[in-house]
């Protein structure tokens, strides 16, 4: 069982820079047709200072910001299922922006008589001046091991 005492906790905030090359790679891998997301000249022509960040890109950075969070609370990653993700943006993020990610576990609960445990993680993302840029929301499920019939 995941200790409910982890609710309200999280790792230290981490500051990362949004790299243009990673944005271009992300766009190409996903087959993004809009050049604004992969071509700096097209982005500037559209009024952006640099490549804008597609909505789901921050989730990858968020995972980098707290790579051992689930392990630290005793979650076996081989038993994790992705359930939900959502985001709220307060402004467009661009290549070159320095962002601080502050993830917090906001809930832990179980279903199916404890066979599934859910971990809710919310991350506040701020820019270099401390202004909010986005809030990220993620829910994962952890499948509990089924007891061996012989040992039960």
- Domains and their CATH numbers in the chain: 9-143 (3.10.129.10)
**pLDDT at res. 71:** 86
Each of the 152 residues of the chain gets a pLDDT tens digit; together they read: 899 999 999 999 999 999 999 999 998 898 887 889 999 999 999 999 999 998 889 999 998 888 788 888 989 989 999 999 999 999 999 999 999 999 999 999 999 888 999 999 999 999 999 999 999 999 999 998 877 665 55
| pTM of the complete model | 0.88
pLDDT at 144: 86
Q: What is the pLDDT of residue 95?
A: 97
Per-residue model confidence (pLDDT) at position 152: 53
Model pLDDT, residue 150 = 58
pLDDT recorded at residue 145? 80
Tokens of 75: 């979650």
Q: Are 130 and 106 in contact (CB under 8 A)?
A: no
Instruction: Give the pLDDT score at 4.
Output: 93
Spatial separation of the C-alpha atoms in residues 15 and 124, rounded to whole Å = 12
């Amino acid at each position: 069982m995941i200790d409910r005492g982890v609710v309200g906790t999280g790792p230290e905030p981490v500051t990362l820079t949004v790299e243009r090359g990673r944005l271009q790679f992300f766009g190409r891998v996903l087959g993004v047709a809009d050049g604004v997301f992969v071509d700096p000249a097209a982005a500037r022509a559209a009024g952006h200072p640099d490549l804008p960040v597609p909505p789901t890109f921050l989730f990858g950075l968020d995972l980098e910001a707290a790579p051992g969070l689930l392990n630290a609370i005793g979650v076996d990653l081989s038993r994790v299922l992705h359930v939900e993700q959502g985001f709220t943006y307060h402004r467009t993020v661009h290549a070159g922006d320095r962002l601080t990610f502050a993830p917090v576990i906001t809930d832990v609960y179980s279903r199916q008589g404890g066979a599934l445990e859910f971990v809710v993680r919310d991350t506040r993302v701020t820019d270099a001046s401390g202004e909010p840029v986005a809030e990220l929301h993620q829910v994962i499920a952890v499948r509990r091991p089924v007891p061996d019939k012989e040992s039960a």
